Amino acid sequence: MIKRIPVSALKVGMYISDLNNDWIPHNTQRRRGVIKRDETIEKIRKMGVQFVYIDVQKGIDSQDSETAAEVDARNDAALQKAGEQTPGVAPKVSLSEEMIIAMGVHSQAQELVSSFMSSAKMGAPVDVAPIHKLADELQNSVSRNANALGCLGRIREKDNYLLEHSVNLSVLMTLFGQYRQLPADVMHQTVVGALLHDLGKILTPDDVLHKPGRLSPEEFEVMKLHARHSRDILSATEGIGELTVITAAQHHERIDGSGYPEGLKGEEISVYGRMVAITDVYDAITADRVYHKGMTPTQGLKKLLEWSGSHLDAALVKQFIRCIGLYPVGSLVLLDSGRLGVVVEINEEDQRLPVVRVMYHTKFRMPITVTTIDLSKSGNQDRILRSVDPDDYQIDVRKFLS
């Protein structure tokens, strides 16, 4: 049985099944195994981890614990409550119409960010005007129909993570900013900051940046420097606003002070830093990486709630959930008819009734004709029972998003 315990209850002889520290970026540390030394417990404590999961069938138990099922049930209840309010801006155009435009913007965004980083790495003069124009195009696409770029954000390749993550982060920050009704200039600067938040990685040695295995403590310290590098490069770049610098510099800061580069706490972190920290963690933990199997969108939202208050701003996490929906675009859901469907559009009136693309029947265990269904339409009796893991049914959701 898997249980969650506070780090203060950890003892030698316990078997850790999950360090529960995916909020730590570039987390490649070993996550499973028996604790054999007190020094290991101290290292875990120094990470800022507050709760870990143990397997009591493989190691000793703890009285100060609750089952993983109980934790998940509580997180699910919190997720449902956080999603009670309606999501953000209603689409102005159809998904099919915006998808054509969004595909061009998404492709252009990756190319432009790559070009910008390459120029900066070579020390060549950089022109920020195209980045500003791109930020406007991303915001305009999200304003017309956020589901289009949302779909494209789920069609990703783990070998292209750096660029796709930067683009996805800018899309999520646009959604978040629109939901919070940020002033146009403020939102523009934060979106540019999201696009360029990892710019400092041009100064990270390739053997560290692209290492497929576990980073050593020394390598992790080198990796952490990229946030400071991003801040310094952007501060010295003409045409970059102050809020852009702040957004990029603070995307790894954490409420409890366990983040970097400055170890800021609580209100010491700007609201934009706290926003981008949430979007950065969410996109990172739901992405497949060389060393990391991504969570489902719903699992990712539950983890944001679990880490709220300690590592992430609790009030902002709830707002983020409301703006991307209980079942974010790309979620695979089980309907009460037994069919599986991929969410392709959220419902701005009722988050429980998105548009889904069904393709598989669990009762017959076989693929079915792909059909797009709006669960909010009258006469449609199907309802979502729960979100499911695509791996359980060997379904590649990317095939049904474009």
Is the pLDDT confidence value at 266 over 90? Answer: yes
Strands 51-55 and 33-34, bridge-based pairing: unpaired
Per-residue pLDDT at 89 exceeds 70: no
Contact 323, 175 (CB under 8 A): yes
Rounded to an integer, the average pLDDT of 81-106 is 84
Q: How confident is residue 214, by pLDDT bands cut at 50, 70 and 90?
A: confident
d(CA 228, CA 261): 6
- Position of tokens 């089980």? 334
Q: What is the pLDDT of residue 83?
A: 77
Q: pLDDT at residue 49 above 90?
A: no
Q: Residue 47: is it exposed, middle or buried by C-beta count within 10 angstroms (0-12/13-18/19+)?
A: middle
What is the distance between the alpha carbons of residues 62 and 239, in angstroms, rounded to a whole number? 56
Going by DSSP bridges, is the β-strand pair 15-18/51-55 parallel, antiparallel, or unpaired? Answer: antiparallel
What is residue 46's predicted lDDT score, i.e. its pLDDT?
84
- Determine how many CB atoms are found less than 10 A away from the CB of residue 137: 16
- pLDDT band with cut points at 50, 70 and 90 for residue 27: low
Which helix (H) or strand (E) segment holds residue 384: the answer is: strand 384-388
Instruction: Give the pLDDT score at 294.
Output: 87
Least confident range from 8-17, 192-201, 371-380: namely 371-380
Q: In 3-state terms, what secondary structure has residue 262?
A: coil
**53/15 Cα distance (integer angstroms):** 9
Q: What is the pLDDT of residues 133-174, one digit of tens each?
A: 999 999 999 999 999 999 999 887 766 888 899 999 999 999
256 DSSP β-pair partners: 265
In percent, the amount of the chain with pLDDT more than 90 equals 70
Q: What is the pLDDT of residues 230-260, one digit of tens each?
A: 999 999 999 999 999 999 999 999 999 999 9
Q: Which residue has the higher pLDDT, 201 or 22?
A: 201
Supply the pTM of this predicted model: 0.93
Residue 87 has pLDDT above 60, yes or no: no
pLDDT at res. 389: 94
- Which pLDDT does position 113 carry in this prediction? 92
Per-residue pLDDT at 288 = 82
pLDDT score at 158? 66
| Between residues 345 and 350, the one the model is more confident about | 345
Residue from 51, 47, 2, 54 nearest 29 by CA: 47
**What distance in Å separates the CA atoms of residue 219 and residue 350, rounded to the nearest whole number?**
46
Give the confidence band of 120 by pLDDT, cuts at 50, 70, 90. confident
pLDDT at 30: 58
Closest alpha carbon to 349 in 3, 85, 70: 85
The pLDDT, as a whole number, for residue 102 is 94
